[in-house]
Amino acid sequence: MKRLFEGLFLLLLIAGGFLWYNSSYKITPNAALSALSESSSQQYSDYVLEFSYPVGWQVEKMNISGNEVLHHVNYYDPAGSAHGFIQVWAASKPLKQFLNESLHSPASSSKLQNFSMMPSRVEDKEGYLIAYERESKDRVMVAREFFFTKDKRVYRVSLFVPKENWVSEKENVLKEMTASLKLKY
C-alpha cells in the first residue's frame, strides 16, 4: 500500500511539473516554426552581391531601367509575413544628404508615421537605420531600412511587415541580412 501511494505521489509530481512547464513557457507551434525558419538561412548570390535570407523565403532579381538604381533584388515570405529588397544606387551625394532629400520629397513623406533615422552600424557597415510606419492600400506596414555607402554607391536593405505581424525580432532579420551582405564590386 505504501508503494502505491509513493507511485501516485510521484505521478502527481511529474504531471504537476509538466503542467507548470507547459503553462510557464507557452510556445505556439507557429512561433516555434517561425523562430526555427528565421534562425537558419539560405544564400542568394549574383554578379553584384550575395547575402543570407531566412529559409522558406523567396528571392528574385528585378531588372530596373534608369540611371539611379543600379541593382534590385526582392525577397519575401510566401506566407505574407514580410517582404523587402536590397538596392544599389549610384551615389552622387553624401549619404545623409541623399537620405534627407529622398525623405523630403512629396512621394516619400506623405504617409509616414513614427519616423526615426539613427546613425547605426551593422558589422563593418556604417550608415543609418530608418524606422517608420506607412499606410498602404488596405493596412499599415512597419518598415525598417538600413542605408550605407561603399565605393560611391548607396546600398539599401529594406524589410516591410504588416503592423499586425510586427514583433521586434523582425528587426533582427534585417540586421542579419545586412551583416551577411557581401559586395562584389
- Domains of the chain in start order, with CATH, are 1-39 (no CATH), 42-183 (3.40.1000.10)
The sign one gets for the Cα dihedral 133, 86, 161, 126 is: negative
Q: Residue 24: is its pLDDT beyond 60?
A: no
Cα separation of 33 and 28, whole Å? 9
How much is the pLDDT for 18?
Answer: 33
Task: Tell me the C-alpha distance between 177 and 22, whole Å.
Answer: 33
The DSSP element (H or E) to which 20 belongs, if any, is helix 2-24
Residue 137 pLDDT level (bands cut at 50, 70, 90): confident
- Scan for cell 510606419, then name that residue: 133
What is the pLDDT, as a whole number, of residue 40? 78
Amino acid 107: pLDDT = 56
Q: Inform me whether the pLDDT recorded for 54 exceeds 90.
A: yes
Nearest to 75 by CA among 100, 94, 105, 49: 49
106-130 mean pLDDT: 85
C-alpha cell at 105: 520629397
57 within 8 A of 41, measured Cβ to Cβ: no
Question: Residue 110 has what pLDDT?
Answer: 59
pLDDT, average across residues 53-61: 95
| pLDDT > 70 fraction of the chain, expressed in percent and rounded | 75
CA-CA distance, 32 to 26, in Å (whole number)? 10
Confidence of residue 27 (pLDDT cuts 50, 70, 90): very low
Give the neighbor-by-neighbor strand order of the sheet with 41-45. 41-45, 49-54, 182-183
Band (pLDDT 50/70/90 cuts) for residue 89 is very high
